[in-house]
Amino acid sequence: MKPGSKPKGNVKIEWSPEFAYAIGLITTDGCLLNDGRHIDITSKDRDQLENILHCLKIKVKIGTKGSGSSKKRYYRVQFGDVLFYKFLLAIGLTPAKSRTLGEIDIPKKYFFDFLRGSFDGDGTFYSYYDPRWRSSFMFYTCFISASERYIVWIRKEIQKRIHIKGHINYSGRKKSTLQIKYGKRESLKILKAMYYSKHKVCLKRKRLKIEKALAIVGLTI
């Protein structure tokens, strides 16, 4: 960059449902490198990265990378944008954010788009028949993070908007992460809030899994 010149951004910083969804994905699956300009996003789902590039309206090659000694391959995009990087810092993201993440400054009207992105990045949905109760089909929606501040904030924001509490507990083999877990009744409310339109961007694999589970008991989102 020439002395005195201003950095140019590739990402158009303008709030919309798609932009908020992308911020949710970056918050969970992304990483701000320490150089002050590069953003890295890694996922096992290529669709995830195609979604984020679509939402940010940028063209970046999707590559792959390994995972330590594992033979697993993950999809990855990395791009440089000083202005967008500074914007992410300003709304609450940080480099090496896994345990330092806290509140994210999201416009109220786009919170559930952001949450859907966060859920697609580090959330999970599972269902099963409870053997203790005849014909009892259970399902849960969970949001996972290594940062307690972020989990507490997410829970507070959800409760403020749709009046459900869920509960927080530790998860993972070493109990190194936390999750907010919503049971059947509360889960349905949060799913309807996140998937408020069939036309909004999401990880199709995850949505299809949810729809198939709910169809078992005649429910829809």
Which amino acid is located at 174 in the chain?
Answer: K
Which amino acid is located at 134 in the chain?
Answer: R
User: What CATH number should be reported for the domain holding residue 63?
Assistant: 3.10.28.10
Q: What is the pLDDT of residues 44-73, one digit of tens each?
A: 999 999 999 999 999 999 999 876 666 778
47 occurs within a structural domain: yes
Considering the domain architecture, whether residues 199 and 153 belong to the same structural domain is answered as yes
Q: What range does the domain containing 74 cover?
A: 17-97
With 0.85 as the threshold, say if the pTM is over it.
yes
- CB 100 within 8 Å of CB 94: yes
45 occurs within a structural domain: yes
Cα–Cα distance measured from residue 189 to residue 158, given in angstroms and rounded to the nearest whole number: 10
Say which residue, 142 or 8, is predicted with more confidence: 142
Which amino acid is located at 128 in the chain?
Answer: Y
5 occurs within a structural domain: no
- Percent of the chain that is helix, strand, coil (3-state, to 5): 40, 25, 35
Considering the domain architecture, whether residues 140 and 93 belong to the same structural domain is answered as no
144 occurs within a structural domain: yes
Give the Cα-Cα-Cα angle 93, 14, 4 (nearest 5 degrees).
75
Which amino acid is located at 10 in the chain?
Answer: N
Cα–Cα distance measured from residue 193 to residue 203, given in angstroms and rounded to the nearest whole number: 16
Considering the domain architecture, whether residues 153 and 85 belong to the same structural domain is answered as no
187 occurs within a structural domain: yes
Considering the domain architecture, whether residues 73 and 138 belong to the same structural domain is answered as no
Question: Of 64, 97, 130, which residue is a domain's last?
Answer: 97
Question: Of 97, 128, 150, which residue is a domain's last?
Answer: 97
pLDDT for res 55? 97
pLDDT over threshold 50, residue 5: no
pLDDT for res 69? 60
Cα–Cα distance measured from residue 202 to residue 17, given in angstroms and rounded to the nearest whole number: 11
Considering the domain architecture, whether residues 92 and 131 belong to the same structural domain is answered as no
Q: What is the pLDDT of residues 124-164, one digit of tens each?
A: 999 998 877 766 899 999 999 999 999 999 999 999 999 99
206 occurs within a structural domain: yes
83 occurs within a structural domain: yes
Mean pLDDT over 37-48 rounds to 94
Number of domains in the chain: 2
pLDDT for res 73? 84
50 occurs within a structural domain: yes
Considering the domain architecture, whether residues 155 and 80 belong to the same structural domain is answered as no
- What token pair was written down for 113? 């788009």
